[in-house]
Amino acid sequence: MFIVLAVTLVLYLLWRWYLNGILCGLKSLRGPASYPFIGSLMTCYPVSTLMTRLGDMCNIYGKTYKMTIPWTAGIVTIDLDLVEYILTSQATINKSILYIFLKEWLGDGLLLSKSAKWRLRRKTITPTFHFKVLDQFVQVFNKNNQILVQQLQKSIDKQDGAGVVNIAHYVTLAAMDNIVETAMGTSMNSQLNDQSDYVWATKFMTANIYDHIVNPITYLKATYIFTPAYWKERKALKILKEYTMSLIKSRREALSKENKSTLINNNADVETYINDEDFGIKKKTAFLDLLLQTTIDGKPLSDEDIMEEVDTFMFEGHDTVSAAISFTLFCIAQHPDIQSKVIEEQRSIFANEPDRNITSEDLKNMTFLEMVIKEGLRFYPSVPSIARNVSEDFHYKDIHVRKGTTIAIPILTIHKDPSNFPNPEKFIPERFLPAEQSKRHAFAFLPFSAGHRNCIGQRFAMMEMKATISKVCRHFELGMTNPPHECILPSAVVLMSKNGVNLTIKTRKW
């Protein structure tokens, strides 16, 4: 018993010494109470309300406040000048330790890699998001969105011509098909087989991340191993990694047989590759194919390197996009006047051919729909909060932020701050007219983060969102259920509704 108490005391003193080193420069900041070992973790319970409480605490403690969690101390801020510094400074370019729970799945891919490695990877991978590559993905969106419409059509009652659907369920499966085909060059067909092991594994890993963050039992493998979640995670990781690696190996062999020798180092190389008359546009170029041809200092990426980036693309481009599409459709259903304007724009583009396939040029012309999507992302940012780790001391006003500090930026709170967006609870797409945007702080709207580590796939995401929402709206009138559905938004790495996103659909008369 004495030994246990002695060890506990030593651990406590080390914990206090470490936290005091970080907190000594933050004396001017207020924050929630901190308790031994668990820090301010009590403020995280119940987990379902954490996102809103982060905003409430800004009202109590100010736009920047301090708090501690079991493994570190940090600050939470919605001060836009400080947010800008954090997202553009080399001192805060690394992701927070909070992201460590993604490590086993995503490795050192673009999301989690640090400093020098991140810069090299970002520079290397950027050409694979060339506009010509993205434009050919529209073909994939057309195919999978047609299946989405067919699946939704099954929910319509033949007698009254309407139906109630959880739109998030359908959109999530369509987004899975889109991301797998564009990332890996293979068809998952999850819309027709939603019991796929890969679909389950992706959903589980995404949902399980936040449980890690707020559950101290999972911090150490010695304790985590005794929880059911650990063994589910092992199973999910095995499914994900085996599937990705098998595709990498088979595609590498296929490219070798096709004798494809083009190596990609820049945008010009990408254009050469995708315009190859034997490969290129006719067969579509998946993200995986481009990575297999990409080199760093003249050396190709290893299978492990490629798996990290493909898995990262899957994680960042699946639930985030499907959540944004689902919530935007929900907002359109809530506002008939806005839906009318969306349809007016669609009719100006498609005339008497609502069923025709969408083109890249069509997407560029959907300016009002883009504003609607942005306002939807303001209401429901797919990633409601981000965090950075401080790699070198810096001063900001009267605070001294020490190396090792975690800085959290609650994007949802920033988007609902009336000083950034007057009448924040009112859905106004016109906030994103160029003239209106120019009046706001450049960091007041952060659906794709900003600065050095902004989302490399944001153009891809916007194209997919426009294509899917356009397709659904051209075929269905959207409305609210009776009584109106209210989404329950638990705190999570990706913002999703716990009780689905229910709305009514009715076949649209074009």
Domains of the chain, start order: 14-104+384-425 (3.30.43.20), 123-383+447-507 (1.10.630.10)
Most confident by average pLDDT, 34-43, 108-117, 261-270: 108-117
Amino acid at 431: R
Residue with tokens 């900041």: 29
For the chain, what's the residue count?
510
Q: What is the pLDDT of residue 421?
A: 97
pLDDT category of residue 20 using cuts at 50, 70 and 90: low
- How many other CB atoms are found less than 10 A from the CB of residue 219? 15
**30-39, 55-64, 90-99, 199-208: which has the minimum mean pLDDT?**
30-39
Using DSSP, state whether 96 is helix, strand or coil. Answer: coil
**Nearest-angstrom CA–CA distance, 164 and 154:** 11
Mean pLDDT, residues 408-434 taken together: 96
pLDDT category of residue 124 using cuts at 50, 70 and 90: confident
**Nearest-angstrom CA–CA distance, 30 and 7:** 31
Q: What is the pLDDT of residue 354?
A: 93
Q: Are strands 72-77 and 406-409 parallel, antiparallel or unpaired?
A: parallel
Mean pLDDT, residues 207-220 taken together: 73
**46-50, 116-120, 200-204, 398-402: which has the minimum mean pLDDT?**
46-50
Q: Residues 6 or more apart from 430 whose CB is under 8 A from it?
A: 371, 436
State yes or no: pLDDT of 314 exceeds 80: yes
**Nearest-angstrom CA–CA distance, 427 and 32:** 32
**87-101, 301-315, 440-454: which has the minimum mean pLDDT?**
87-101
Q: What is the pLDDT of residue 125?
A: 84
For residues 125 and 43, which has the higher predicted lDDT (pLDDT)? 125
pLDDT category of residue 489 using cuts at 50, 70 and 90: confident
State yes or no: pLDDT of 264 exceeds 70: no
Most confident by average pLDDT, 174-183, 258-267, 309-318, 484-493: 174-183
Cα 162 to chain centroid distance, Å, stands at 32
Mean pLDDT of the chain: 85
**Nearest-angstrom CA–CA distance, 49 and 208:** 17
Residue-wise DSSP of 411-472 = HHHHHT-TTTSSSTTS--GGGGSHHHHTTS-TTS--BTB-GGG--TTHHHHHHHHHHHHHHH
- The pLDDT > 90 percentage for the chain reads 46
Amino acid at 232: K
State yes or no: pLDDT of 280 exceeds 50: no
Statement: the pTM of the whole predicted model exceeds 0.75: yes
pLDDT tens track for 459-474 = 999 999 999 999 999 9
State yes or no: pLDDT of 182 exceeds 70: yes
CA angle 139, 309, 251 (to 5 degrees): 60
Q: What is the pLDDT of residue 70?
A: 64
For residues 231 and 71, which has the higher predicted lDDT (pLDDT)? 231
Task: Write out the H or E segment, with its range, that includes residue 507.
Answer: strand 502-507
What are residue 295's phi and psi, to 5 degrees? Answer: -125, 155
Residue-wise DSSP of 315-376 = HHHSHHHHHHHHHHHHHHHH-HHHHHHHHHHHHHHHTT-TTSPP-HHHHHH-HHHHHHHHHH
Beta strands in 49-175 (DSSP E): 64-69, 72-77, 94-95, 162-166
State yes or no: pLDDT of 274 exceeds 60: no
For residues 413 and 66, which has the higher predicted lDDT (pLDDT)? 413
In the chain, the N- to C-terminal Cα span, in Å, equals: 77
State yes or no: pLDDT of 282 exceeds 50: no
CB 185, CB 316: distance < 8 Å = no
